[in-house]
Structure 1
Amino acid sequence: MISLSRIFRRESRASIKSDDPYIAEWFGLRGGVGGYVDPGRASGIAVAHACIAIVSQNLAAMPLNLYRRADNGGRERATEHPLYAVLHDMANGSMTAFEAREYLNASLMIHGNAFARIEWNGRGQAVALYPLDTANVAVERLPSGRLRYRVSTNGGGTQVLLQEEILHLRYRLARDGVMGLSPVQLARDTFNLALTQQETAGKQAGRSFRPEGALVFPSAIPGDKKDAALDKLRQKIESNSAVSGVMVLDGGADWKSFSFSSKDAEFLDSRKLTNLDICRIWGVPPTVAGITDNATYSNSDQESRALVVRCLAPMAKRLEQAMNAALLTASSRQSLFIEHDLAGLLRGDMKARYESYRIGREWGWLSPNEIRGWENMPEIKDGDEYLSPLNMTVVGDRQTPDNQPEGV
C-alpha cells in the first residue's frame, strides 16, 4: 500500500554514511568542496603533474636489478636470468623497461593500483611484462582467498587471468585487503579546491581581469522607451569601457563592484598553500616540485636528499616486495631478489664522494675496485686488496716495548 507521504512526495530517504572514498562516486553523491575528483583532471594540475613526473621518472631511471645471493653473504647481478633484461632493458617487444616502469609508477600514484600481465617461459621464468590500463581491470577474490583478474580487451571481450599472471602494485591497501586506495581520492578535497581555484583564475584571465559591477545613475532615465535606451547605453559602455558584465540602473550615482580582486581575497597566497598541500600528499619537497619561494642553495640540496629518503625509498620498497612476490617463484626467492640501487641518488658532489672514499679506503672496508666500480671505471690489477691501519690491531695482540705480550 502506498503511504500518504509518498503520494504527497514527502518521503524521506536515509543518508548513506561510509568511509569508503568510492561509495560517493558510485551513488552519484557529492561531498566536501566538490565531491568526486576526476583523476585525469587532478593529475593535470601543474604541481600535481610535477610530483607525479618526479617520482615516476626517478624510480624508472633508477637501476632495478635482479641479484643472486652469494655464499659469503654478498650479492651479484644475475645478468643471465631472463627477468634481468625485462627489468633493465626491454619490458616486452615494443616497450622499454623505462617506459613500462614509468607507466606503472604513474598509474600507482594516480589511481592507487597498477597492473601488468606477466609472460612466463617453460622454465617458470618471467620473460616479459605488459602494462594494463587500470580502468580495464576488475579484481575478484575467490572463496579460496586467491585473486582473479578480469581484463577488458580492445575487441570488447574479457580475458580472465590468475593471480600468478598479474603483477599488481598497490599504493595503500583498502579495507578489503585487495585494492589500493587512490591518493587523489583520499585527498579529494585538496584537489577539488585546487581545481576550483584554477577554474576561477581561468575565468578571470578570460575577462582580462576586468571587474564586474553596476553603473547607477543619480535619477531615473526619462522616456517611454526606457528599456531600449538602457540597452543602447549598455552596449555603448561595454564597447568603450575596460569593464565587462555592466548593468545600468536608474537611481543613485555610483559604481558598485560585484567581485573582489585577487589581492583582496588573498587568492594568490591561497593557491600557493594549495600547491604545498599537493606536494605533501606524495611527500615531494616543494623545491623539487619547482616551488622556490623560500629556496636557498643549502635547503635545496637537503630537500633533494629528503626526496630520496622520505619519498623514493618507501615507494621503491613497495615496488620491490610486490615484484619479488609476483615475478619470482617461491623456490627462486631463496636465491634471487629484486632491488633498486639508490646509491647513485644519495651520492654528494665529487669532493664529498672522494672524501668518503678516502675514509673507507684508509680504514680498510673499501678496495680500489669497489670505488672504481661506483665511479663507472674499469677494474685494475690487484685492486681487490684492503688496507689495514698500522695503529689499529686486536687488543690481545698488543706488544709491550720489550716485544712481550701485555701482562707477562
Structure 2
Amino acid sequence: MRWFGRGKKETRGWGELERLILAANETAAGISVSPDSALEYAPVLAAVRLISESVAMLPVHLYESDGGDKRRADDHPLERLMTRLPNPWTTAFQMKADLTAALLLDGEAFALVIRGRDGSVIEVTPLPRGSVSVETLEDLAPQYRVSLASGEQRILGPGEVLHLRGLGTLPNKGLSLVHQGRHAIGLGMALERHASTLMAKGARPGGVLEVPGMLSPEALGRIKAGMAQGHGGSASGGTLVLENGTKYNPLTWNSVDIQFQEMRTFQVAEVSRIFRVPLSLLSEMSRVTHANAESLGQQFLSLTLLPYLRLWTETIYRDLLKPQEQERYYAEFTTGALEMADLAGRVDAYVKAIGGGLMTPSEARQRENLPPVAGGDVLRVPLNTESIGGANA
C-alpha cells in the first residue's frame, strides 16, 4: 500500500505569509474577510450549511452499465465507501458535507485516496483545509504538495487525491467564492458589528426626558435613579410617573434608521447572489408568496445543487475509478431525498409513475423502504395503450 509519494522537508516564515494573506483579504469596509471569518456572518454560514448539508444528505450510488442495462453496483468496494464509511472514522455524510463546505469557502477541496495492490480504492480521507497546494506541470497535469503537521511535505499525483475544484480561471485552480465576494461580505459584517456596538453601549436611548427649567444635581440624580430602578431592564413596560412637569418624549425610527436596516437586508441578498441560493432559504421572506414558494425550492435543486452534484459525480469518475472501470461504472446522486418531507407529493408522483409505466410498484415501495409485493415487478400501462414489450396478438 502506498500512502504518499516522494517527500521533501521545508520550512516557512509563517509571520510574513499571514501578513500577505491579511492584506489580500482586506475589504473596502476596512474588515479583513477570510473563508473562516466569513462564517461568523450569519448569511454566509446559512448559505454554506444549506448547500453542503443538502449535498451530504443526498445518497450517491455507483452504477454499472452494460449496453442498455443499468444496475446498482452493490458488490463494488467503492459503493460501500460512498454510501457508508469512506474511512473508519468518517461517515459518508460527514465527508460530503466537509468537502463541499471547503469547496464553497476555498474554491477547492481535497481528500487522500488510498489504494490496494490492485489499484482499487480502499479508503478516502479528507485532507485539512490549507494543507494542499496545487502545482501545474508542463503538460498541464496537476501535482499536489501536501504539508504535514510535522512540517514535512509530500508530493502526490493524480489518482492519489480526490480533487473537487469549483469555478476557476486557471488550470487546476478554483476561485474562492468568499474571496471573490469579500467586499459585499465585509460590508455586511461591518453593518452587523455597528448594530452590535449600538446595542452593547446603549448608544440609542428609547426616549428623552424634558424638564422645565434647571434641575439641581440632587433632583437630576433622583430622576435618573427612579427611571433606572422602575423602568430599566426587566422592569421596563410599567406605568411611568414623572414629577415637576417632566415630559417623556419617545424616540422613533427615522429615515436613517430605516435605510440602515434596508442596507442590512440588501447585504443578505448579496450573499444570496454570491452562493446562488434563493433569498427565501436564507430566511429573508419579504418577497415570498404562496405562488412562488414551490418554484423557489425547485430553483434551489436545479440551479444551486445540481452543479455541485454533477461536480461530485464527475470527480468520483475521474479520481476513484480505475481506467478500465470507467467504461462500465459511473456515480449518480438520488435527488428524491429532497422530497421526503412531502408525503402527499411523493404518493402522487408514485401513482403517476406506476400508472404511466415508468416505475413498478416494487420500485416505488423500495424508495419508501417497504418490502416488495407479489406481482410488483410488472410494469403497468393505461388500458388504451399497448403493453410494454409489444402489442398483444
Q: TM class by shorter-chain length?
A: 0.7 to 0.9
Larger radius of gyration: 1
Q: Show CA shifts across 1:304-332 (max 9, x none).
A: 22211111111111111112111112211
Q: Deviation of residue 150 (structure 1)? A: 1.1
Aligned to 2:264: 271
Q: Partner of 1:130 in structure 2? A: 125
Q: 2:95 aligns with which of 90, 100, 111?
A: 100
Cα distance in 2 for residues equivalent to 1:145 and 1:196: 41
- Is 322-331 or 288-297 further displaced after alignment? 288-297
Q: CA deviation at 1:29?
A: 8.7
Question: Aligned partner of 2:72: which letter?
Answer: R
Indicate if the aligned counterparts of 1:305 and 1:346 stay in contact, CA closer than 8 A: no
Return the offset for 1:140: 1.2
Deviations 1:328-380 (A, max 9, x none): 12211111111111123256833333333333333333321122122221112
Listed one character per residue, the Cα deviations across residues 207-234 of structure 1 (whole Å, up to 9, x for unaligned) are 12337xxxxxxxxxxxxxxxxxxxx9xx
Q: Is the 8 A contact 2:25 2:182 kept in 1?
A: no
| Partner SS, residue 61 of structure 2 | strand
**DSSP 3-state at the match of 1:275:** helix
Gaps of 5+ in 2: 1-19, 206-216, 229-251
Query: Relative contact order (alpha carbons < 8 A, sep ≥ 6): 1 or 2 greater?
Result: 2
Indicate yes or no: 2:275 matched with 1:282.
yes
Check conservation: 2:111, 2:124, Cα contact below 8 A: yes
- Asked whether 1:202 is paired with 2:202, we answer no
Task: Structure 1 unaligned segments of length 5 or more: list them.
Answer: 1-23, 212-231, 243-259, 399-408
Q: TM-score with structure 1 length normalisation? A: 0.74
Aligned-pair identity (%): 26
- Residue of structure 1 in register with 2:376 after alignment: 383
Q: Which residue of 1 aligns with 2:231?
A: none
SS of match in other structure, 2:305: helix
Q: Distance in 1 between matches of 2:64 and 2:145?
A: 34
1:104 maps to amino acid:
L
Cα deviation code 1:143-184 (max 9, x no counterpart): 23322111111112112211220111111123x212100001
In structure 2, the partner of 1:171 is 166
Q: Residue in 2 aligned with 1:370?
A: 363
Mapped to 2, the partners of 1:278 and 1:111 lie a distance apart of: 16
Q: For 2:310, what is the secondary structure of its paired residue?
A: helix
**Structure-1 separation of matches of 2:382 and 2:253:** 71
- CA–CA distance in 2 between the matches of 1:163 and 1:363? 45
With the length of structure 2 as denominator, give the TM-score of the two structures: 0.76
Counterpart mapping for 1:187-226 below 5 A = 187-210=181-204
Deviates more, 1:202-211 or 1:58-67: 202-211
Say whether 1:341 aligns with 2:337. no
Q: Secondary structure at the match of 1:334?
A: coil
| 2:35 maps to 1:39 | yes
Separation in 2, partners of 1:347, 1:317: 21
Count of matched residue pairs? 333
AA aligned to 2:367 is W
SS at match of 2:323: coil
Deviations 1:103-157 (A, max 9, x none): 1000000111101110111121111111112311111112233221111111121
Mapped contact 1:105–1:114 kept (Cα < 8 A): yes
Whether the 8 Å CA contact 2:22–2:32 is kept in 1: the answer is no
Tell me the equivalent position of 1:253.
none
CA RMSD of aligned residues (A): 3.1
